[in-house]
Amino acid sequence: MAQANLSEILFKPSFKHRETSTLIRRAPHARSATMHSPLEGDTANNWYRMLNRLLWAWRGVDAVEIVEVLSRIAASAAEHSDERLLDTVVGYRNGNWIYEWVHQGMQWQQRALEQQDPLLAGKHWLRAANFYSIAGYPHLKGDELAEQAEVLPTAPMRKRRCCCRISSRSWSSRLTAAARSPASCICRSRARRRSRRC
């Protein structure tokens, strides 16, 4: 009988990631109590997460897109970690909270990469970053998928191995420029200037 390769066994891809609701359970008394605050959001008995629609809209996310993503999550017939809660789909697939918000963010990221106007592309990057941030909500330690979603807005910078610091005012426009060409990266342009002097 042939032995299996140990590296294939150890590094076999895992498709069943822990769902956020399995990391920290809601308190039983919290299910019956509802809370409404314009700034903090709404609690609902059928959602694990608090829905902060006003905050998300204030951050620049279109209200129609919020409802669209929430409806895709609610309509999912996939396996849930808690059947009573709509946003507890197990695994990274359709209906999963992180999957749906990242999917929406990816659409804006794609638009940013296709955009020729750097200012408009920067706005698209910022919108994508907001979706990735919502995907990681409620930002619990140990939630691997959420942590991966929160890193997505910086992917172009990591791809180019950029080590420059970016001010918050020009973050989105420089991020877009760095994604398009490494020549626009601040640290690389400084290195070129130094090498010319030598």
- Domains of the chain, first to last: 36-163 (1.20.1440)
Cα distance between residue 146 and residue 102, in whole Å: 10
Of the candidates 106, 130, 101, 75, the one whose C-alpha atom is nearest the C-alpha of residue 20 is 101
- Main-chain dihedrals φ then ψ at residue 87, nearest 5 degrees: -100, 35
With 0.85 as the threshold, say if the pTM is over it: no
* Identity of residue 13: P
Q: What is the mean pLDDT of the chain?
A: 74
- How far lies 78's CA from each of 89, 129, 191, in Å? 6, 27, 51
Cα distance between residue 76 and residue 39, in whole Å: 28
- Reported as a single tens digit per residue, the pLDDT across 35-90 is 666 666 666 778 888 888 989 999 999 999 999 999 999 999 988 888 888 988 88
pLDDT score of 139 = 73
Cα distance between residue 172 and residue 120, in whole Å: 10
Q: Select, from the ranges 18-27, 98-107, 136-145, the one with the highest average predicted confidence (pLDDT).
A: 98-107
> Residue 2 belongs to what H/E stretch?
none
pLDDT score of 172 = 47
pLDDT score of 92 = 86
pLDDT score of 48 = 85
- Reported as a single tens digit per residue, the pLDDT across 103-115 is 999 999 999 999 9
Residue 120 has pLDDT above 80, yes or no: yes
Of the two residues 155 and 16, the one the predictor is more confident about is 155
Residues 89, 95 contacting (CB under 8 angstroms):
yes
Q: pLDDT tier at 146 (50, 70, 90 boundaries)?
A: confident
